[in-house]
Chains A and B, each alone.
Chain A
């Protein structure tokens, strides 16, 4: 039987990170993945990641995936694709199905990084062709260049739903509605805001009543929910859509852990049935580790750190690292993890409702319900400073772990938190530092929440990631934060640069009285 020092199940962000750490310390490491491509979901995540530099913030998920694969290859990790692990047995023996064969493999340490599966909801018509998972939509458009549909209803306003909605717009689809049964948008406000200003309406406290159609989806009916989550009679609304996309959460894919005999718990804070793990990610079975979504649903940035910790710990168990060395290295990773796990979206904050940021700024209720900030709410935040001349307006209003704006500014005009690890603080703009209007912060903001504004000139520079790219001199319409048309606008500049990483900077000119409202440009039909 073929043996490895470490066998990793799953070549996603956690599995690859674990493999890289262990292999770099000289262990013989193999990663088995049932898919034809490695990287897990990373290659579908074409948006810029949150976090700070150590979490690969402002780098797009697909690029992080490429980097991880290069690191794995350089470290000598063996990656086996189309290899589905179908069983785990005593003595860390695993059965792997490859084509027409079942292979047996054994390892001294096993790292289970099988990720998550999508939750589904059922409603009349949910089996019709045209109803699909959000992951399916991402696979179609981001991996294979096929649109999931033309007119789409998205069910679920967590980060997955919001990110997929934006990606659907980038693929050229119309997002007709984002519907969520909860009274609040579940994901980051900045993700909601960037689709709201494109004109996507949010229906919070709504649910899907039925999908219509005989052979495929031809429409959908949604209805408003009362406090007891019952549909309010007469609130039903028909939407002309051809596709219904479900983004209602993820569940840990932990069956292999249970099969391996690991102690398990059903923990709603971790979104499901998960193995119990210690600080190293080790389960109750010595030498079997779990890392990433399989041990609790979080962002991919957290999965990569958990992977690294498990990889290091496996190396220590096998005698490739001293306990002292391990603890020193794990402490660094734990600090990185702790900085990600702060703020109102942290795993520990699940189920809590916040009314203000840690700075004491009131949270925009409109952002939570409709996906956009109103003009009156805006001035409450430290990134919004109405100064003379060209300067950034940072519409970042929730405590999200993210600070690329601070690192992007060559003049140090932007600060995020008093200490390096405090990355959930709202960014503060200091007009005295001499902003040059370079626009680097606009392109660096993963939430696309920064705009350069020159009120006297009526000019707004905004991030733009759609095709076709408007041309200088082009006339069109300026849209407000809600996606409403507010006035005519002219494109006065279009900047594209390698450092912007596919985020173009579009400068539009509007009548000066609209400079505080105009946040998106719609090309003339």
Chain B
């Protein structure tokens, strides 16, 4: 998919733009739609820019919802979108635990 910014038209406000999508980071549908029309076409870019799916639950609740919004705005099927990058840790781990683990490794 080689879409460029502007190809999908500008952002037009919708009546349900206030609707919250990402519960953890409190990101609304309107914020996501606006970002897409500003040229952020991938889930990864949206995560970096808006923090959708970057909160405590790590996108386990909103992942599918964000994907559906992106697909709709781009006019493609959700299955065609590039999936988010899988990264360890896949479960929330406190920095304290990670740091201590590193200390142990380093002896």
Contacts and interface: CB of A to CB of B under 8 A. Distances in A.
A and B touch in the complex (CB under 8 A): yes
Interface of A: 34, 84-89, 95, 97, 100-102, 117, 119-124, 126-127, 251, 255-256, 258-259, 264, 266-268, 272-273
B89 A120 contact: no
B5 interface: no
B79 interface: yes
B35 interface: no
Contacts of B88: 86-89, 95, 259
A249 to B, nearest CB: 9
Contacts of B29: 122
B89 A87 contact: yes
A501 to B, nearest CB: 36
B80 to A, nearest CB: 8
The 8 nearest A-B residue pairs measured at CB: A87-B88, A86-B89, A258-B86, A266-B79, A259-B86, A102-B101, A84-B91, A255-B86
B34 to A, nearest CB: 17
A267 B83 CA distance: 12
Interface of B: 16, 18-21, 23, 29, 60-62, 64-65, 78-81, 83, 86-91, 93, 96-98, 100-101
A102 B20 CA distance: 35
B64 A251 contact: yes
Given A119-B64, A122-B20, A256-B90, A101 B83 contact: no
Nearest to B61: A120
Contacts of A266: 78-81, 83
A255 B60 CA distance: 10
Nearest to B79: A266
Given A120-B65, A267-B79, A97 B87 contact: no
Most buried by A among B16, B79, B88, B93: B88
Contacts of B100: 100-101
A127 B27 CA distance: 12
Contacts of B101: 101-102
A101 B60 contact: no
A84 B58 CA distance: 15
A102 B79 contact: no
Given A95-B89, A120-B62, A124-B18, 5 more contacts: A119-B64, A124-B19, A256-B86, A256-B90, A266-B81
9 contacts: A34-B91, A86-B90, A86-B91, A101-B101, A102-B93, A102-B98, A122-B29, A127-B20, A256-B86
A7 B62 CA distance: 30
Contacts of B79: 266-268
